[in-house]
Amino acid sequence: MKRCLYYIIIATTLSFVAHADDNSEQPTISRINKLIPNTWIEYPAIEPAIPSDFIMKPDDDGMSIFWGAESDLENLENIDSATLTNGLFILQHSMEQQTGPNSFSFNKKDLIREFNTAGLQVVRAGNTNWGQYPIFFYEGVALDGRVVRSAWVGLNSPEKGVLAISMISTKNKMNDERLWNRLIHSTKQLKGYEYFRAIGSDMKNGCTTYTCAMGVVEAKVQQRRKDKKLAIRVTSLNENTTFNVQKSVQATMMGPWRHGENLTKIYGTMVYEDENYKNVINSVINVFNEDVTDFSINPDQT
């Protein structure tokens, strides 16, 4: 079983490698994590305002996913507005980019003009946000009378990623409008602990379980009172994950949740690899320092 543990004592040259503990706890899953494939790296940390019976199903292309009722998702090959019981959402990463806190790589007025020229009459468009995530949405009527609804969600990521969401409508126009408006205007960004847990950082005192694209590790940090030295341990929690620690930096927590508390930023590379898949992710794991009299993080010397 290939499980690796990396152990570092800051301000010394000691370094150890040992096996992970098979009894390590797994992080609790937020609903957004149940609605996003575990291969996706970028997605918004939100509580989506969609019906409670909506689930996620990946498209065959591996690039898109559907949110909808199970009865609708069972027959996607033959789906159309006549057979849908409820509205259906399609999500995929867009080729567009987020260019600022509330801006995208497309010009909104030019985009609407292009839609109208192509025969899609835009009847409503606007900007909103899910917390810090900017949204641009529109609704239009196609030449065949179909109502078209789409939105772009900025992910506030270093890669300037944007999530595109579209809706397949049904013959129940009132329900479609209600469903779309609920998603756009009632979805909320998660806050505090729930926000960080949703994006893969389950942060407890002295310990963070970090999950990204099927890779999962546990990072622990202890600070010894008498000399302020740190013990850091990063343990892979599945047999396909390894994590190489590159450096650590001392910082304080920003934002309203646990503001000003001391933490350690662990920089490294996480690799998830199995027979069919390999993902190499440059990662930063934030861990709240645990104040201790003596270190209890002991590596397996063997």
Write down the pTM of the prediction. Answer: 0.85
Following CA atoms 151, 157, 158, 164 in sequence, which dihedral angle do they give, to the nearest 10 degrees? -20
Q: List all residues 6 or more positions away from 131 whose beta carbon is below 8 Å from its beta carbon.
A: 46, 188, 189, 190, 191
Q: List all residues 6 or more positions away from 128 whose beta carbon is below 8 Å from its beta carbon.
A: 135, 137, 184, 185
The pLDDT, as a whole number, for residue 19 is 34
* Tokens at 232, concatenated: 């850091």
- Count of other CB atoms within 10 angstroms of residue 243: 26
User: How far, in Å, CA of 18 to CA of 103, rounded?
Assistant: 47
Q: Apex CA 93: angle with CA 166 and CA 285, to 5°?
A: 130
CA distances from 61 to 120, 242, 274 (A): 26, 28, 20
Which parts of the chain register pLDDT below 50?
Answer: 1-24, 26-27, 299-302
Q: Which residue has the tokens 């937020």?
A: 30
The pLDDT, as a whole number, for residue 270 is 95
The pLDDT, as a whole number, for residue 6 is 44
User: How far, in Å, CA of 264 to CA of 223, rounded?
Assistant: 10
The pLDDT, as a whole number, for residue 28 is 59
* Tokens at 34, concatenated: 């149940």
- Is residue 259 packed enough to be buried (19+ CB in 10 Å), middle (13-18) or exposed (0-12)? exposed
The pLDDT, as a whole number, for residue 219 is 96
The pLDDT, as a whole number, for residue 61 is 78
The pLDDT, as a whole number, for residue 139 is 96
Backbone torsions φ then ψ of 167, nearest 5 degrees: -125, 135
The pLDDT, as a whole number, for residue 4 is 44
Q: Is residue 86 helix, strand or coil?
A: coil
The pLDDT, as a whole number, for residue 81 is 64
The radius of gyration of the chain's CA atoms, rounded to the nearest angstrom, is: 23
Closest CA to 295 of 222, 235, 233, 204: 222
Paired sense of beta strands 15-18 and 46-47, if any: unpaired
Instruction: Identify whether the C-beta of residue 212 lies closer than 8 Å to the C-beta of residue 270.
Output: yes
